[in-house]
Amino acid sequence: MKANLLVIDDNKDIAHALQVLFTLNNLQCELAYSPQEGLALLQKQTFDLVIQDMNFTADTTSGEEGMQLFNDIRQLSPDMPIILITAWTHLETAVELVKSGAADYLAKPWNDDKLLVTINNLLELNELQQQQWKSAKRKQSQQLQLEQKYDLCNTQFRSDSMLQLLQMATQVAAADVPILITGPNGSGKEKIAEVVQANSSCKLGPFVKVNVGALSQDLLEAELFGAEAGSYTGANKTRIGRFERAHNGTLFLDEIGNLSMQGQAKLLRVLETGEFERIGGNQSIKVSVRIISATNTDIPQAIVDGTFREDLYYRLNVINLQIAPLHQRKEDILPLVDTLLQGKHQLSAESRELLLVHDWPGNVRELLNTIKRAQLLCQDGIITEQHLGIELKTNTSIAPKEDVTEIEVIDAIKAAGGVISDAAKNLGLSRSALYRRMKKFNI
C-alpha cells in the first residue's frame, strides 16, 4: 500500500510541486494550505508523514506559526514523522524543534533526491517502529495474561525467550512428569524450578532442594536416601533423607550432571519404582515425589563419554526447559536491576548503557552481585559506572568504522530490531558514535 503524505504550505505552487514529485515516485499526497486545514485533515485521515511550512502569514519569517503547528500535530500524532521546510531558516528554531522530535529541517529550494531519500528512510524507520510497538504490546499482553493465570514467583523478565520458557514451564507444571532444566551457571534454573513447583498439583507439599554437585560421594546416599542409626561412623540416630522429606511434594536436584555413577543407579531405581531403603536399613520406603533436576553439563556428551547413564537421562528429561544465558536476553537486565534497587538507588545513563553492553559471563548471579556491590559503594543514590566495577572486553576483530554509510546504519538498526546498542556493536561503533551518524543522516 502506498504511503500517504500530507503537505501543509500556504504557497500553492510549492504544495503542488511537492505533490507532483511524490506522485511520480509512487507516494500518495494530500495538500492543505493553512494550519487549520492541515489539522482538520489529520483528524479525519491517517497519514504516514507530514511536510509543513514554518510561516503562513505574508511577510512573516519568525517561524512561530510553524512551531505552533508542529506542537498541534504532536498533540494529535505523537509519533508522526514531521519534516519542516521553509525559505527562512533559523538554526535556533531548527535545533529546538529537532529536540522536540522533528524528523528533519530543510530549506527552500530543496534537493528532490535528498528529500525523497529522507522521506523513504523515515517511512521505513517509522514502519519498523510501528512493528516493534505492536510486537511489544502483544508481548506485554501475553505476559500480563501469564501473570494473572499463574504464579511466576516474582520472576522479572521482558525477553521473548523468557516469556516462551515461562509459558512452557507453567503449561507442563501440572503434569506429574520429571523435568530437566538446562542452562549455564547463574542463569536462573532454580527460579524456573520454583515456578514449576508453584503451579504444580503438589504445590502445597514440601519443596526440597539439594545441590547434588556439592555433596561428596560418602554423604550423597545418606543425604538423598537417609540412614539408619549406627549404619556408619557418626550416625547416632536415624537420618531422614531428602526423598522422604519431599514426599507428596517436589525434589529439586541441582547440578545433576555431577552425580556419580553409583548415585545415578540408585536414583534410577527410585524413579522407576518409587521405592528405596535407607543406608543400613532393609525396609523398603515408598514415596510420591515430583522430580525437577537441573544441570549446566552437556549430558548427551557425558553419555558419549560414559559419565552419565543414558537410561537415567531419558527418565529425567521427559520435559526439557532450556534457559538462555543473560547476554542473549538483555531485555531482562534492566527489569531485574530495577527490582533489586527497589527505588532506593537510580542508575546514571552511562551505567545503564554499561549494563546493557556487558556480556555477563556469570549471568544473573553476576548481575545480582554487581548491583549489590554498587549499592554498597553508592553514597548519593546515583549509581555510576565506577560503582559497577565492570571492565568491558573490547573486540579487536571489529575495527571502528569511520566511513559507515547511511544504508549500513539503516540496515544495522533493522537487523538489531531497533536496539541501538546492538546495532552499534555490529557496526563496530560506540552507541554515542552511532547516534552521531544517525543525526548526520537524519535517521
Percentage of the chain modeled with pLDDT above 90: 51
**SS (HEC) of the chain:** CCCEEEEECCCHHHHHHHHHHHHHCCCEEEEECCHHHHHHHHHHCCCCEEEEECCCCCCCCCCHHHHHHHHHHHHHCCCCCEEEEECCCCHHHHHHHHHCCCCEEEECCCCHHHHHHHHHHHHHHHHHHHHHHHHHHHHHHHHHHHHHHCCCCCCCCCCHHHHHHHHHHHHHCCCCCCEEEECCCCCCHHHHHHHHHHCCCCCCCCEEEEEHHHCCHHHHHHHHHCECCCCCCCCCCCECCHHHHCCCEEEEEECHHHCCHHHHHHHHHHHHHCEECCECCCCCEECCEEEEEEECCCHHHHHHHCCCCHHHHHHHCCEEEECCCHHHCHHHHHHHHHHHHCCCCEECHHHHHHHHHCCCCCHHHHHHHHHHHHHHHCCCCEECHHHHCCCCCCCCCCCCCCCCCHHHHHHHHHHCCCCHHHHHHHHCCCHHHHHHHHHHCCC
Claim: this prediction has a pTM higher than 0.75: no
> What is the tens place of the pLDDT at every residue in 333-379?
999 999 999 888 999 988 998 999 899 999 999 999 999 999 999 88
pLDDT digits (tens, 9 = 90+) for 182-211: 999 999 999 999 999 999 999 999 999 999
pLDDT at residue 400, as a whole number: 44
Q: Tell me, what's the pLDDT at 415?
A: 74
pLDDT in tens, 302-318: 999 999 999 999 999 99
Q: Among 144-158, 202-216, 310-324, which is the least confidently predicted range?
A: 202-216
Mean pLDDT of the chain: 87
pLDDT, one tens digit per residue, over 83-134 is: 888 766 555 665 677 666 677 777 778 889 888 988 988 888 888 888 888 8
